[in-house]
Structure 1
């Protein structure tokens, strides 16, 4: 009996300090990470905005180009996943490459970025569901009522087993993908006034003042593919599954969204897509769908538009909960967060913390909403737009930093020559991502739909800058005051095993000085 328990526990500190292994396979992991991309929400929300606000007719080509860039990023990122298995993902990779202080900064940025993206979806989810309840059932409820219900539902699911979460995400994702594919087929079968045109893939269509902001919007649509590494400790064969899912997710999202944005383009006509997108806004997909299928199909699409948002919220919630767990386990956050539920093996306390923070975020925007019923200002123009753009900027910053960390990690291990193609790919991707960050910060007023020079255009991106500074300061304080905690940032379960080995060595050889700081050099 005791032997079985020993095999089950992967850290010497006990079962409650680890995530339950082998809970999710390649298929479940792929569904979980792609759900964060919210295919129907991107098709109905992001694509019309890119067409209308930025005036970029070549959006399908943009998805293809950024798909290539993120594939380059994935070569190094996926290879890193074979060597580091940690629910902290981004911050763990950055810590192993650039050091514990940089890792601490990345951990703060990750919490802010992924939380912001989850908060954003609560806003548009509440607004859309409130509108559907009013339209079909005659129930007039404020947007924050369904948003708060969603906070509770997502929190409950976050407490449960990850394999159950994967099933919920999988069903919702497959349905919304099917709805988009049906529309794509109808659009190509019944094209708009310009016929079945390939004009959207002409490089000349990428010119225009809105290109920089379109880059940020488009890359935000990919967010989710990088989350496979977060589940490494819970997958079977993580050294294979994480890398495989990362590439599959990037490829799927790039092709799916390139095809869907082309279908929208064809359905409206390349010559009319910009004007029609400005007129219809997020209703563009549904208006084009109703012309081809009628009201019943469009109503069903509206419903799965909402459930797709729920799937994305659950996906982001699971990711933030695991980041909080990893940080609690390593001493970056209170130790209580580094414990899991005995029943499900899920990071229950990290999930509870994220639910509480989500509740506060929704409540804050609800209390400051003085607009009439049905007005989108607070839930969509503020909560969704502000937080969504802040979150996207933070994730792009993390990807750029991770690209640098991958290069340093393998160079320090003496594997630069063996890993040269991957390191070159990481360097190219990192440079492009930094350029996108520059564009995003410079044009943040366009992303917000605000006037140039407005306070929000520097306050909101400044939140990510502030997170970086706070994280760096925190890391430096830990290095000076709690060096043993700083030394194990990014090591995860491995740190516990190193501590155990150090204690055993100290017990047998009192003069031994081996500790986590020395062990970091050996392990990395």
Structure 2
């Protein structure tokens, strides 16, 4: 690592040992926005895949659990703060790692910035449903930018506590809906017909799987908080498994209970006729109108929780890349009191405001265009990073001495590579489900991902020539943090040049 001055060594750093397993899980699950995903996307999955849709969420969960086996094994040996790009660098070399770093910035920024459009429309819908008021979306989105900036500016402990409250609230309303359906026995009695192969393997299954994989976006961000975690060699893997298991089982259960609410024969028509109102209709019938009003409010808080979780993830990626020397050094500053990457947070807020204002100035629809057009390349980018990370795991363990078993270092990563490759193909070939846009727009949105990867490789070559010290130290192993227990012993080799 490059030598550091006394001033650099005494500069404020992130607050180590602050986050436990539950805290990190709150960040990850909140980013997925379970209530928003269920109320907003699950009706589409039901329309396309019928009563077998819950199985799609289980299959996506199983795939990502297999991915997590190798991913978490590598997390015990790679202490870098760059998460995906650090893993990919160690396994596939610096050019791939630098390309992955740029793609991560596209992915996480896209996932956050687009959601400000959803915040505006969700707040509009809630105000209209509860008060009959029509409010403009742009002031709401801009106010959300300031609120999320403040949440990221405060300490990570503050963010974890806030997300914990919001997550309990949004999952609680879905549990309330499920409880009402189960107690009253559904429309035609409780049925497991959706698990039958004939109802799972239907023409719309591929589209359901695409929706299901999209619903897990951001679950892998557990490793981003490694520096701030207590005993990260244990905390990070636990949080990863808990997050993916919870999301897979919870999504499948909630979609199944909504099917029971309308009945196997009626639910597809209900979802097709009024996808936006499906969950509100169900909770009104089985719990009461007051619960539907509460669900409207909690969808807004669910969106805010997702925004804060992604904002914190982006800030830490920016901090890591600034420390690497790839991004401007100022983005690596940490607030002396809150110990947050506050300059990176301010920069991300300014970028988000610029994108939101640009879409507003162009007269774009906040949902159909700001949300869907900006989110979609972000989602595809993060899924691509998962695929590259899965490929990197066996490549990394082949080049080091370690005590991990072959199941973790070879079998699971290879299986995950195949499954994630299939998932990526499903999402790309069904991208119109996520954008509602023309073929030309869809092509441009999908093409952003390989374009960024090519740009990243070009940047790596330029760094190797013009700033060899930055290139040589990219994703280098940092010294252990005080909160870390030593991982299983291994001898590492430097990333492939």
Residue 482 in structure 1 maps to residue 477 in structure 2: no
Q: Does 1:186 align with 2:180?
A: yes
**Deviation at residue 103 of structure 1 after TM alignment:** 0.8
Whole-angstrom distance in 2 between the partners of 1:209 and 1:148 = 41
Unaligned runs of 5+ in 2: 482-491
What residue number does 1:513 align with? none
Residue 409, structure 1, aligned to residue 406, structure 2: no
Query: Does 2:363 align with 1:390?
Result: no
Match of 1:379 in 2: 366
What secondary structure is seen at the aligned counterpart in 2 of 1:83? coil
Tell me which of 196, 199, 219 is aligned to 1:205: 199
Separation in structure 2 between the aligned mates of residue 228 and residue 389 of structure 1, nearest angstrom: 22
Query: Matches of residues 127-166 of structure 1 in structure 2 within 5 Å?
Result: 127-137=121-131, 139-166=133-160
> Given the alignment of the two structures, is residue 24 of structure 1 paired with residue 11 of structure 2, yes or no?
no
1:242 matched to 2:214? The reply is no
Normalising to structure 1: TM-score of the pair? 0.87
Match of 1:35 among 30, 33, 36: 30
**1:287 shift after superposition:** 1.0
Bigger radius of gyration among the two: 1
How big is each residue's C-alpha offset from its partner over 1:343-378, in whole Å with a ceiling of 9 and x where there is no partner? 1111111111111111112112211226xxxxxxx1
**Aligned-pair distance for 1:291?**
1.4
Q: What is the TM-score with the length of structure 2 in the denominator?
A: 0.92
Contact 2:152 2:340 (C-alpha < 8 Å) held by counterparts:
yes
- The Cα offsets for residues 453-499 of structure 1, whole Å up to 9 and x where unpaired, read as x2012111111121111111111211222122112222263499xxx
Q: Is structure 2 residue 77 aligned with structure 1 residue 92?
A: no
> More deviation in 238-247 or 136-145?
136-145
**Cα distance in 2 between the residues matched to 1:220 and 1:522:** 31
| Pairing 1:444-463 to 2, within 5 Å after superposition | 444-450=431-437, 454-463=439-448
Change (3 A) 1:327 1:252: same
Tell me the residue number matched to 1:521.
494
Aligned: 1:114 with 2:108: yes
State the shift of 1:139 in Å. 4.4
Give the C-alpha shift of residue 309 in structure 1.
0.9
Unaligned residue ranges in structure 1 (runs of 5+): 1-8, 371-377, 497-518
> 1:521 Cα deviation (Å)?
2.3
Q: Does 1:169 align with 2:154?
A: no
- Match of 2:76, SS state, is helix
Deviations 1:37-87, CA, capped at 9 Å, x for gaps: 1111111011112112x2343121111112111111001111111112233
- CA shift for structure 1 position 443: 2.5
SS in structure 2 at match of 1:58: helix
**Displacement of 1:141 after TM fit?**
2.3
Flag the 1:495–1:360 CA change in 2: closer, same or farther, 3 A: farther
Q: How has the CA–CA distance of structure 1 residues 224 and 441 changed in structure 2, closer, same or farther, with 3 Å as cutoff?
A: closer
RMSD of equivalent CA atoms = 2.4
**Post-superposition CA distance 1:110-132 (Å, at most 9, x none):** 11111111123211111111232
What whole-Å deviation, never above 9, does each CA across 1:432-462 have from its counterpart, x for those lacking one?
A: 11122122222323433346xx201211111
Q: Compute the displacement of 1:336 (Å).
A: 1.0
Give 1:329-408 correspondences, 5 Å limit.
329-369=323-363, 378-408=365-395
Is the 2:28–2:221 Cα contact (8 Å) retained in structure 1? yes
